[in-house]
Amino acid sequence: MRSEPHLVEVFGAKEQPGQQEVQVPVEQPLLLRVNGGLAATIMRQPGDDIELAVGYCLTEGLIADPGAVLTVRHCETDDNTVDVLIQGEPPEHPRLVGTSCMDGAELSEAQLPEPLQLGRETAWSVADMFAMPPQFRDHQQQHRLSGGVHAAALFDQEANLVVLREDVGRYSAADKVVGYCALGKLPMADMVLMVSGRASSMMVVKTVRAGIPVLATMSNTSSLGLELADRLGLTLVTYLRGKKFRVCTHPFRICQR
């Protein structure tokens, strides 16, 4: 269940108070076990948990490529636990991943991914970029039902929507779309990741770890997010809405054609 009904009191400036049943997005912890050990407790909206688990392993650097995942499945006795078997060693200390923005200060120099290649020819036109937000909005079913959720989506070279996922956590939404492509063996090196929330430093790092060259948001970025995007070769697009948008770093991937 992704949302559940709740009875609330509604107050208006010109109306008498009244009761109304509304939908509220469900938030539950997902236990991620890697090679038998607890790797993370992820607060998320239930659904697409296999995608979330694989995407998390990739964007958090537990694996270098999707091929390192040997098996992934729900625990037979607990729908809120996913077991992943990977090549290599699991993390030594489990993490608690909430739904709010994490502090970029947690990133050490050794944890940063290798910069993206800057010589790639793939580019998106201004018209391509403007074609993404309407598709992004039209496919946010959970947002229309209950609100209170973030969305992330991947678009291909022709600005066609490949996948969109929603979640109470911005990072979980992004991990789900990355996991979708990883499981389907869809190359992400020629895709744009669009997110509803701010392009934080952690979102920038997750995008680069997945090998995605462009991160676009309808909101703004942070100073550290911008700094890391520039350093790691990521094209960062902000305020992609209305009739304008900003290209903050590496604008060669956006052209006027």
Domains: count for the chain: 1
Residue 50 within a domain: no
User: Is 101 one of the annotated active-site residues of the chain?
Assistant: yes
Q: Rg (Cα) of the chain, in Å, rounded?
A: 19
Residue 72 within a domain: no
In whole angstroms, what is the distance from residue 211 CA to residue 65 CA? 9
Question: Does pLDDT of 9 surpass 90?
Answer: no
Segment 36-47 shows an average pLDDT of 92
CA separation (Å) from 149 to 106, 167, 187, 256? 25, 5, 27, 33
pLDDT (tens digit per residue) in 64-101: 999 999 999 999 899 999 999 999 887 676 776 665 54
Contact, 162 vs 185, CB < 8 A? Answer: no
Domain that holds residue 207: 124-255
Q: Check 57, 101, 181, 248 and give the catalytic one.
A: 101
CA separation (Å) from 109 to 58, 163, 221, 223? 18, 32, 21, 17
3-state secondary structure of 142: helix
Question: Does pLDDT of 196 surpass 80?
Answer: yes
Query: Considering the chain, what is the average pLDDT of its residues?
Result: 89
Lowest mean pLDDT of 12-21, 33-42, 192-201, 225-234, name the range.
12-21
Q: What is the DSSP letter of 92?
A: S
In whole angstroms, what is the distance from residue 197 CA to residue 17 CA? 33
Domain with residue 129: its CATH number is: 3.40.140.10
Question: Does pLDDT of 103 surpass 60?
Answer: no
Residue 200 within a domain: yes
Structure tokens at 245: 């948008």
Could you tell me where the beta strands, DSSP code E, fall in 87-196?
95-97, 124-125, 150-155, 161-167, 192-195
In whole angstroms, what is the distance from residue 62 CA to residue 67 CA? 12
Residue 224 within a domain: yes
Residue 240 within a domain: yes
Contacts of 133 (CB under 8 A, 6+ apart): 194, 218, 240, 241
In whole angstroms, what is the distance from residue 65 CA to residue 52 CA? 15
3-state secondary structure of 9: strand
Segment 43-55 shows an average pLDDT of 95
pLDDT band at 22 (very low <50, low <70, confident <90, very high): confident
3-state secondary structure of 186: coil
Question: Does pLDDT of 29 surpass 80?
Answer: yes
Buried b (16+ CB within 10 A) or exposed e, 94-127: bbebbbebeebeebeeeeebeebeeeeeebbeee
Task: With CA atoms as reference, report the closest residue to 44 among 143, 170, 140, 191.
Answer: 170
Question: Does pLDDT of 104 surpass 50?
Answer: no
CA dihedral 3, 57, 138, 194 (to 10 degrees): 140
pLDDT band at 118 (very low <50, low <70, confident <90, very high): confident
Task: With CA atoms as reference, report the closest residue to 237 among 227, 224, 250.
Answer: 250
Residue 4 within a domain: no
pLDDT (tens digit per residue) in 89-98: 876 767 766 6
Residue 114 within a domain: no
Beta strand pairing status for 192-195 and 214-217? Answer: parallel
Residue 16 within a domain: no
